[in-house]
Each structure stands twice: as C-alpha cells, then as structure tokens.
C-alpha cells in the first residue's frame, strides 16, 4: 500500500514518537544549529581524501599495504543472497507478561500495562505512572549471586535471552551440538545500568570505599550481552549498540547481517531497558516529555491521539533468536517468520525533533525495502507506535517487543488494536490504523520502524516463511 511510505505519513510517524509536551519543550530551541552543524565543524591535518603511503620507524621507511589483493578478497566474499535468516525463538519481559503468547494475547485484548509506580516514592513528581513490571523473578534464569548484583536491565536481558532460547527449542542437548564460535549475542540498551550508576554516586558522597566494586562493569550497556554470552559459552560476535529508542532494531539488523554475511549461524538480538527509577523518571520529567494523566493511567498512553500529553515510560526486554535457514532446518526448528532486511539512516537535523519533511525516515524505509527486495505495495502491516498504547515506551527495548508483536501477527493472523485512539490527529490516515478492537490480517510483509533521539532511524522487515 503506497500510503505506508508516503512523505506526509512518514513525517507524522516520527512525530508520533515524541509527545506533544516534548514538542513544546523543543520550541525553546536551547540548542541552535550553526553553519549546518549543531556544534560547528573544522578540518585539520591532511587534506580530505589524502592517504598516508608510508611510515617511518627508526628512520627506516616502512611500506604499508593499504589494500590486500582484491581478487583474493572477492573470492572469499560469501554470497549473502544464499543465506536466508529466520526467526526461531522469541523472549520477552514486559508489563503485559513474560511469555510471547501471554504478551501478545494481552495486546489482542487491549489490556493496559500502565499503572501507578510502586518501585519508589514518586509522590513529589508530576508524573507518577509508568509501564512498570510488578512481578518478575530470575529464578532458574540467572545465578542468585549475580542476580543480587546486576542492574535490572541486565536481568531483563539475560532472562529474555534465555527464554528466547527455550522458545526456540535450544535444549541442553542442542546447545551441546552448536558450534559456539558461530553463535553470537547482540542485545543493546538505551540507558544501561542507570540504577547501578545512581547508587554508586550516592555511595561516593560518603566515600569511594562504599562504592560497589561492580558499579563500572555492571553500569555499561555492553555487559548484558557479555554476561549472557559467558553463560552460554557463545564465542561469536558479542557487543551492544545504543541508539536511543532505535536500539533494538539496530541490534536486530546487525545481528541478521552477521548471519547473512556468513560470519555466524545463530544470533540472540534485541534490546533491554530499566529506566523506571528516580533519575530516569526525573530526567524525562525535566524535559517535559511525560504524560501527567496520573488519575487515569490506562488512558495515559495515546499514540496518534490529539489529546495526548506526553509519552509513558515502560521497562522490559525483547529478544529474538535468529538463525541461518539451513541451520534451523537441520535441527528441526520451528520457524516463526523470515527476516527480509532493513536499514538505518540519520536525520542529521536535531537531537530530539524529527526532520519536518521526514527525509531521514523516508530514506530509511526506501533503503530497507531495497535491501529486502520488497515493493512498498507488498507491505500490509506497519509497526511503529501502537504497542506503546498498552506497554508504554520501553526506550531501547521498544523495537524488540514490537518485533515480537509483528512476528506474532504473522503467526496468528491477528493484529492488535490501538487503545486510547479516540480523537486522531487530522494528518493521520486512520484507514491504515487498527481501531479499538483486534483485526484479522493475512500479513504479507511486516515493517517495524523505530526512531530515536539523535535522529536515529531504523526499519526492519519480516514476512511469513515460505
């Protein structure tokens, strides 16, 4: 359907990721653009395009080979067209449940996971609601010793990752047969270990001797992926990408590309965040981004609705198990969907405001379609914001759980509703939005978009496996 990627809609889809309140804050323009760059620019050193042809060591000229023999490189380059990527497992930790089916059934029923915050006293904050996880246990998923020390974002990540393995039929027997040098973990976080870092600052006010010796490693965003890989013994690509609210999609596409290029056969990928703590809530309150509909939490998150007054914070994790097709077939895995492709772009415009003409988003979607070999008319399911009406905005984990929702729509033939869409914005084409009740849909291609502060745009596509 051509309307999906038409410029007016794309522009509005980006704007929908920001609240009306945050939009007002943006008008203050605290950061100005100068000379085409936010902080200006300068060029020093060699002229653009100049190359260093040699180096000296002890006064002896040393030749440096800038390019290996091209023929040798090209002969080793894998044929990525022959390596298809499929989804064989899903794991979630969300305000609507910690199982992919429970999570999606609640979405289909229009259940809201938004409620009053209970983790700490927020009575003095103007916002006192969130998509908070009320009940969560690491029993059987994380070693008790580690569970006591880790930040929640790491606990959510490891739990969701292991649940994805379980959901994908990776039993102990299968695990023992895997070539672990060709298995990797790429799960990111927008905020990282905020609670660990915040606690360390409070301890430092007394003395550095009071600080948690694990505060540095457990606050970094990469450590969740690292610990999960250590636990599994997976020795393939292992790192974390942080691109604000686009984090999960960046991780999913990069993980898929490792498989497509022939570097790995199996990847765990997605995102995790646990920002519902005083500093997290306070930070978003300070920039006037959050809804203050405290008396009616279930109605607070209102994507595309003219009466929205900000977004609602959420927490959790969404992780996919991706596999090379033949690898999945060989072990008899259940295939939930096929990953077709994706793309990233940058608005290069403003820290929080989308480009008014949606240039970066349009380019991202067009590039994703080209990468996947899909025509825009083939897309009949678009994901960008509707899940947030029930879960709140999970920041770096948002794309992960939204990818799970898209795959579940492919599997079940049901698309979940948008709740709280009582008065749509006039610029929104409501004909392409699901109403207040779930709808039947034979999904041909699902497009999942995520856009983050910093102008980060990401698009990934899934389809039924054929």
Catalytic residues: 245
- Residue 358's nearest CA partner among 449, 225, 425 is 449
Q: How far is CA 401 from CA 91, 144, 167, 177, in A?
A: 9, 26, 15, 29
Distance, CA of 297 to chain centre: 24
Residue 226 to residues 141, 218, 251, 258, 268: CA-CA distances in angstroms?
A: 15, 10, 14, 17, 12
Structure tokens at 388: 């947030």
The secondary element (H helix, E strand) that includes residue 266 is strand 266-273
DSSP code for 430: G
Helix (H) or strand (E) holding 86: strand 85-93
Taking the mean position of all CA atoms in its chain, how far away is CA 417?
Answer: 21
Count of residues for the chain?
A: 466
List residues bridging with 259 in a β-sheet: none
Sequence-separated contacts (24+) of 31-37 with Cβ below 8 Å: 31/350, 31/351, 33/350
Closest CA to 364 of 218, 204, 250: 250
- What one-character-per-residue DSSP string does 193-262 give? SHHHHHHHHHHHTT-GGGS-TTTTGGGSTTHHHHHHHHHHT--S-EE---BTBTHHHHHHHHHHHHHHTT
């Amino acid at each position: 359907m051509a309307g999906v990627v038409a410029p007016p809609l794309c522009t509005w889809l980006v704007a929908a990721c920001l609240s009306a309140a945050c939009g007002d804050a943006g008008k203050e323009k605290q950061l100005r653009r100068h000379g085409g760059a936010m902080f200006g620019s300068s060029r020093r050193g060699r002229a653009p395009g100049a190359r260093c042809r040699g180096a000296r060591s002890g006064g002896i000229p040393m030749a440096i080979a800038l390019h290996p023999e091209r023929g040798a490189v090209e002969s080793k380059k894998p044929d990525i067209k022959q390596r298809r990527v499929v989804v064989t497992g899903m794991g979630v930790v969300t305000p609507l449940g910690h199982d992919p089916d429970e999570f999606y059934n609640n979405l289909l029923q229009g259940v809201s996971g938004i409620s009053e915050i209970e983790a700490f006293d927020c009575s003095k904050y103007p916002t006192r609601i969130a998509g908070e996880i009320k009940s969560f246990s690491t029993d059987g998923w994380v070693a008790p010793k580690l569970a006591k020390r880790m930040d929640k974002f790491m606990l959510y990540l490891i739990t969701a990752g292991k649940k994805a393995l379980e959901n994908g039929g990776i039993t102990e027997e299968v695990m023992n047969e895997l070539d672990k040098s060709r298995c990797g973990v790429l799960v990111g976080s927008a905020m990282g270990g905020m609670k660990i870092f915040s606690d360390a600052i409070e301890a430092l006010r007394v003395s550095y001797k009071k600080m948690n010796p694990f505060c540095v490693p457990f606050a970094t965003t990469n450590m969740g992926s690292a610990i999960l890989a250590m636990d599994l013994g997976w020795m393939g690509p292992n790192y974390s990408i942080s691109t604000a609210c686009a984090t999960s999609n960046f991780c999913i596409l990069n993980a898929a590309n490792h498989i497509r290029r022939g570097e790995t056969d199996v990847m765990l990928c997605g995102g995790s965040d646990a920002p519902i703590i005083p500093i997290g809530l306070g930070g978003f309150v300070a920039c006037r981004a959050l809804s203050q509909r405290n008396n009616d939490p279930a109605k607070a998150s209102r994507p595309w609705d003219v009466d929205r007054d900000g977004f609602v914070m959420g927490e959790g994790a969404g992780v996919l198990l991706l596999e090379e097709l033949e690898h999945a077939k060989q072990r008899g895995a259940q295939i939930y969907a096929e990953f077709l492709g994706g793309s990233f772009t940058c608005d290069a415009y403003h820290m929080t405001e989308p480009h008014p003409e949606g240039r970066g988003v349009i380019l991202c979607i067009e590039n994703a379609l080209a990468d996947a070999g899909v025509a825009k008319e083939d897309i009949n399911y678009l994901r960008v914001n509707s899940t947030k009406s029930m879960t709140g905005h999970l920041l770096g984990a948002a794309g992960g759980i939204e990818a799970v929702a898209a795959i579940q729509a492919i599997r079940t033939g049901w698309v979940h509703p948008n709740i709280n869409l009582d008065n749509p914005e006039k610029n929104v084409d409501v004909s392409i939005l699901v109403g207040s009740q779930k709808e039947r849909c034979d999904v041909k291609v699902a497009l999942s978009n995520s856009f983050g502060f910093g102008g980060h745009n990401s698009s990934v596509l899934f389809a039924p496996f054929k």
